[in-house]
Structure 1
Amino acid sequence: MTQALPGSHPGLTARRAAIESRYPHWQPRALHEHLDALLPDYGERPYIVTDELELTYADVAELSRRYAEGLRRLGVRPGDRVGILLANYPELPALKYALSRLGAVAVGFNFQLRSDELAYVLGHSGCSVLITMSSHDGIDYLQTLEAIEPGWRTGARNKLTSLREVVVLPCGDDHVEGSRLFDEVAASDPMDESVAVDPFGPSDILYTSGTTGVPKAVVLSHDSLLRNSFASALSRGFDDGWRVLFSLPLYHVFGYAEGLLATTWVGGAVMPRLRFSATDYLRGVERHRANDILCVPTMTIAILEEPDIATYDLDSLRAMFSAAAPSPEWVWTAAAERLGLSEMVTGYGMTELCGAIVVTLPEDPIGQLTEVVGRMKFGGPAGLDSASGGVCEFRVVDQESGEELGPGQSGELTWRGPVVTMGFWDGTAVIPVSEDGWLRSGDLGYVDERGYFRLTGRSKDVYKSGGELVLPVEVETFIGRIEGVAQCYVVGVPDERWGEVGWAYVVPSPGHTLNAEDIIAACKASLARFKVPKEVVIIDAEALPKTATGKVQKFRLTEVIS
């Protein structure tokens, strides 16, 4: 039983006890097995709620069986990888469970990617089937596929050689011809019996930025996702029937684990939104009586700046999980005052850890939310003795030697345990994270005397903008191809709204004159929005800060214009 902490709220302690009472022992299961196990108690409760419809747990289970049979008839078999290019449509959760029933692996793609970026992940993943929406927010995905693989509708497979079928979900008023429609898959009879699935086998592949200049394909198991989502519900003390609203896309582990899966442990419901706007969040909370919202700081600030915030009925809203970047104290104070929140948390995690691995607690004081990123989640029956009841072991190590450091000493955070990724898909096989199972995060920090984690920096040359990881080398490589560019260096700069934004320092080739606006326009045309630099600084090569050996010191670039 999770022990109450000093200063714990009696209501939260009781809610945590109720969760542990319902699940006294940890039972490893595949995703669909977990859903089916909930049906006797929660079958008639709402699970997926949108403005247009409401699906109960039983509805989602039934749909997942129909989708599974339809995909089986398309030739999907255990171990196959099925690509998903969908916004948060209500079909998506049932599709996740359907792939679990088949023993197939769901590969979530970022629908903000441009054609070259999408071509890479489609080819690298080796998907046999792609399920895509027809369009979203001005992007025509069928035309994007045509740019990647001309003639794909008629069977051309010159680049995407593993792709056998493309299934299209028509969106809005889109008229789709010459493609297999999602309704054809959904019209199947329910699958009689799911295949045997190893709970510790792969459930999902999610792409995230890597150190090699291309995205990493992170492989997550059924058990790791369920175990970490259980720890979220327990640590945050979800009440029975907890209702969570979010627009975070389900190709991100944040919305997936902390929303879609975490709510199931208390028979709760999710209100997934297709896109973010402050007014949509506020209207959604009012209409669907949400108890909780998931945000990154840019969203939180936009909601707080909404001029009509006081006109919405937000009496149901109690909680917010805002993470992926630091927020100043005024944000948390304003959230408590303007939204009436009493349970606010932040956290730290990675895709490789199935989302947040440490969180602050709802009973923690507001001032602490700006100083720490949390403590190890309570594991309860899913916890490890070797991790003092948490769901993952951790060590703080010296970056160079790998030697473990003592309490209060800053070093690289490393992790090992059942919620750590199985490894990385390299296009043919899963490559383990390391020989000894320890995942090196690239993040620097230490653990204070109360067990709370404090971040001090990153060893990796990445930054996070609006909750999205950006690898500077990707942006540098693109800008470097622009005519007249001799050198380019991209760094993340703190930003109150976005957490961090990219600044590109560009050196012109001799005899060329560059325009910052033109470079930004070129980036907007070819890169995902979160990768586009906010500022471009044209700079002489002589002005670049360098070491004695001539290596550019990127961390000093911001000093050049300060």
Structure 2
Amino acid sequence: MSEISPEEVARRRQSLQERVGPWRPRTLTAAFDDAAAAFGDRPYAISDAATLTYADVVARSRRLAAGLIDLGVRPGDRVAMLVDNRVDYPVLKFAIARTGAIAVALNYSYRGDEIIQRLAHAEASVLLSIDRSAATDFLAVFDERFAGWEAGVTSTEVPSLRTIVLVEDGWRDGAVTVPQLAQRGDEAAVDAASAAIAADDVADIVFTSGTTGHALGAQLTHDMLLRSGYGSAYHRAFDDGWRIGFALPLYHVFGYIEGMLAAMFVGGAIVPQRVFNPRTTLEQIERFRINEVLFVPTMTVAVVDQAAKLRPDLSSLQSVFSAAAPAPVWLWERVMTDLAPQMIFTGYGQTEVSAATALTLPGDSIQTVSAVVGAMKLGGVAADGSGRLAEYRTVDPFDGHPLPDGAEGELVVRGPQVTREYVGANAPQALDADGWLRTGDLGFVDDEGYIHLRGRSKELFKVGGELVAPTEVEQVLSGADGVSQAYVAGIPDERYGEVGWAWVVMNEDAAPDERALLAHARARLAPFKVPRGFTFLSVDELPMTTTGKIQKYLLAASHAPAR
């Protein structure tokens, strides 16, 4: 393995800046059309079944936009998407953007009630949908909740919804489909609609992952999304034609911005997987000459295990970006040994901040990448005078007053890629009077500008009046022999109010040993921090969002195991 040189990083960043020139606030489709003018014949979206070039995406998205306008979609309308990681996903997304409507991409693992709630919350007027996912038969949901939907929707549950459009023909007789819409309308109407869109208009409503059980819809503008995507390409030193592979869902900002939008700034391509499979990931790296892969740590573990067995040709792979949850040193060591990239990255961000606002730097050591979640993201020409796209500091998690530099507290962020507001009449205020967003994450910014996380402010619990940060306990437990992952949450207790409970995943070759783990914790933690008990489970049993974040509220809800 050879690390990338500082000179090569500088060359790539300079090349990117020269191609883009001074930052011009634009719409998503204006930026993509500029990329297509330069890279029209290059692949943009690649799958085993098909490849779409930049020119293909422009032509198809324009035709579909004309059909959507003919259907009645107008600027500011909300068009929801229940769509998996198919190769034509960018066509749908850019078609919506061309009309001036707002895309509302939904989690395709949602069940019926969740779909209805999100559609109503977003006040969606049109829904673009596949027929089913591994989790849900969407057509059955529509039949149950919107009887006769094929001819139009009238619903008291979602009064705003007018039309459901299926992504493919043949799934349901009489239903409106994307191929049908692509034959309707006049592209002159698309030009007129696009000309009226401003860079500061809302382009997407993206729902948070739901790690607390209460998802919010963040409103992200065209310019926020583009600044974030450009900044990621600049910070991670994309080379010309950079290809990014991932199974992360495109409805979430990680795959959407860090993959789909970032790639277009260098005439690159995305290789999205519909379903994560580590063997497929490795085969696609080899077949499509992928330069970077986007993972969450559970994916990273599975891929390095397969790579050690298969020994594929990974000579094209230059970068591994694994984020959304902490990854230990041993995992990064496996990445370097079994995948041999030139660069490794972890990062930090939220839906509300248009994906990553912090990333480790090219050339950072394994120890650094495993200990921090990044330094504030470089923005190149998309940043302000500081050169960065976000600014972090800490505040007291209880009363919100600012803390001194370097002090541990709740992280707050502001910058050009931070949402201005959530959707919905009863949504909380996103920003304070000075433009700061409270992240809900505990941590601090060190003297070198790296962000260290210490857990979630809402996850703090008190044992007999003593405050416990779950992340501290998790770090101790993760250092015990045989432990792969550990998660801690507070549970109700009659005597102490709350006590800690731990959910532990052991390595494949290690047997659960509660006594040994308890002794390990007692030797390293104050008594009130030691978990009251342990639940041992497999990785598959962890309640997890599709972006790899653990839903601790579900762990806590199941805290009474048989003992």
What's the TM-score once normalised by structure 2's chain length? 0.80
2:450 maps to 452
Cα offset, 1:181, TM superposition: 1.6
2:117 maps to 120
Q: Residue 76 of structure 2 aligns to which amino acid in structure 1?
A: G
The separation in 2 between residues aligned to 1:160 and 1:243, in whole angstroms, is 40
Q: Residue deviations 1:434-483, cap 9 Å, x none?
A: 3332100011111112111111221024999xxxxx9x99xx9xxxxxxx
Match of 1:65, SS state, is: helix
Instruction: Say whether residues 1:328 and 2:321 are aligned partners.
Output: no
Cα offset, 1:221, TM superposition: 0.6
Match of 1:35, SS state, is: helix
1:68–1:190 Cα contact (<8 Å) kept: no
1:439 maps to 437
State, as a whole percentage, how many aligned pairs show the same letter.
39
Query: What is the alpha-carbon root mean square deviation over aligned residues?
Result: 3.3
2:109–2:134 Cα contact (<8 Å) kept: no
Cα offset, 1:216, TM superposition: 0.5
What are the ranges of 5 or more consecutive residues in structure 2 without an aligned counterpart? 461-469, 472-486, 492-496, 508-535
Please show how residues 186-197 of structure 1 align to structure 2 within 5 Å: 186-188=182-184, 191-192=187-188, 193=191, 194-197=194-197
- Matching residue within 32, 35, 39 for 1:35: 32
Q: Residue deviations 1:378-429, cap 9 Å, x none?
A: 11111122xx211123222222343322232111111112100121001589
The separation in 2 between residues aligned to 1:126 and 1:491, in whole angstroms, is 40
The separation in 2 between residues aligned to 1:439 and 1:167, in whole angstroms, is 36
1:246–1:273 Cα contact (<8 Å) kept: yes
1:112–1:529 Cα contact (<8 Å) kept: no
Q: Residue 560 of structure 2 aligns to which amino acid in structure 1?
A: I
2:70–2:185 Cα contact (<8 Å) kept: no
1:378 maps to 378
Instruction: Say whether residues 1:91 and 2:113 are aligned partners.
Output: no
Are the structure 2 counterparts of residues 190 and 335 from structure 1 closer, same or farther at C-alpha, using a change threshold of 3 Å?
Answer: farther
- Matching residue within 372, 396, 412 for 2:394: 396
The separation in 1 between residues aligned to 2:428 and 2:395, in whole angstroms, is 26
1:313 maps to 313
The separation in 2 between residues aligned to 1:362 and 1:202, in whole angstroms, is 32
Are the structure 2 counterparts of residues 277 and 122 from structure 1 closer, same or farther at C-alpha, using a change threshold of 3 Å?
Answer: same
The separation in 2 between residues aligned to 1:43 and 1:180, in whole angstroms, is 30
2:211–2:549 Cα contact (<8 Å) kept: no
Instruction: Say whether residues 1:538 and 2:536 are aligned partners.
Output: no
Q: Residue 128 of structure 2 aligns to which amino acid in structure 1?
A: I
The separation in 1 between residues aligned to 2:330 and 2:51, in whole angstroms, is 36
Cα offset, 1:433, TM superposition: 3.0
Are the structure 2 counterparts of residues 289 and 539 from structure 1 closer, same or farther at C-alpha, using a change threshold of 3 Å?
Answer: closer
1:106 maps to 103
Are the structure 2 counterparts of residues 190 and 361 from structure 1 closer, same or farther at C-alpha, using a change threshold of 3 Å?
Answer: farther
1:348–1:359 Cα contact (<8 Å) kept: yes
1:416 maps to 414
- Matching residue within 76, 79, 97 for 2:76: 79
2:140 maps to 143
Cα offset, 1:488, TM superposition: 12
Q: Residue deviations 1:234-272, cap 9 Å, x none?
A: 111001110000111111000011000001111111111
Please show how residues 264-413 of structure 1 align to structure 2 within 5 Å: 264-306=264-306, 309-385=309-385, 388-413=386-411
Cα offset, 1:493, TM superposition: 4.6
Instruction: Say whether residues 1:47 and 2:69 are aligned partners.
Output: no
What's the TM-score once normalised by structure 1's chain length? 0.80
Q: Residue 49 of structure 1 aligns to which amino acid in structure 2?
A: I
Cα offset, 1:140, TM superposition: 1.2
Cα offset, 1:100, TM superposition: 1.4
Q: Residue deviations 1:200-219, cap 9 Å, x none?
A: 11000011156995320111
- Matching residue within 156, 163, 167 for 1:169: 167
1:394–1:416 Cα contact (<8 Å) kept: yes
Cα offset, 1:107, TM superposition: 0.2
- Range that drifts further, 152-161 or 35-44: 152-161
Cα offset, 1:84, TM superposition: 0.3
The separation in 1 between residues aligned to 2:176 and 2:500, in whole angstroms, is 42
Q: Residue 250 of structure 1 aligns to which amino acid in structure 2?
A: L
Match of 1:423, SS state, is: coil
Are the structure 2 counterparts of residues 284 and 197 from structure 1 closer, same or farther at C-alpha, using a change threshold of 3 Å?
Answer: same
The separation in 1 between residues aligned to 2:458 and 2:219, in whole angstroms, is 20
Are the structure 2 counterparts of residues 180 and 443 from structure 1 closer, same or farther at C-alpha, using a change threshold of 3 Å?
Answer: same
Instruction: Say whether residues 1:181 and 2:181 are aligned partners.
Output: no
Match of 2:443, SS state, is: strand
Match of 2:357, SS state, is: strand
- Range that drifts further, 275-284 or 401-410: 401-410
Q: Residue 199 of structure 1 aligns to which amino acid in structure 2?
A: A
What are the ranges of 5 or more consecutive residues in structure 1 without an aligned counterpart? 1-6, 465-469, 477-486, 498-515, 541-560
1:214 maps to 214
Match of 1:121, SS state, is: helix
2:263–2:270 Cα contact (<8 Å) kept: yes
1:62–1:190 Cα contact (<8 Å) kept: no
The separation in 1 between residues aligned to 2:440 and 2:237, in whole angstroms, is 30
* Moved segments of 4+, more than 6 Å: 487-492
The separation in 1 between residues aligned to 2:78 and 2:122, in whole angstroms, is 7
1:545 maps to none
Are the structure 2 counterparts of residues 370 and 494 from structure 1 closer, same or farther at C-alpha, using a change threshold of 3 Å?
Answer: farther
1:170–1:176 Cα contact (<8 Å) kept: no
Instruction: Say whether residues 1:60 and 2:57 are aligned partners.
Output: yes
Are the structure 2 counterparts of residues 180 and 530 from structure 1 closer, same or farther at C-alpha, using a change threshold of 3 Å?
Answer: farther
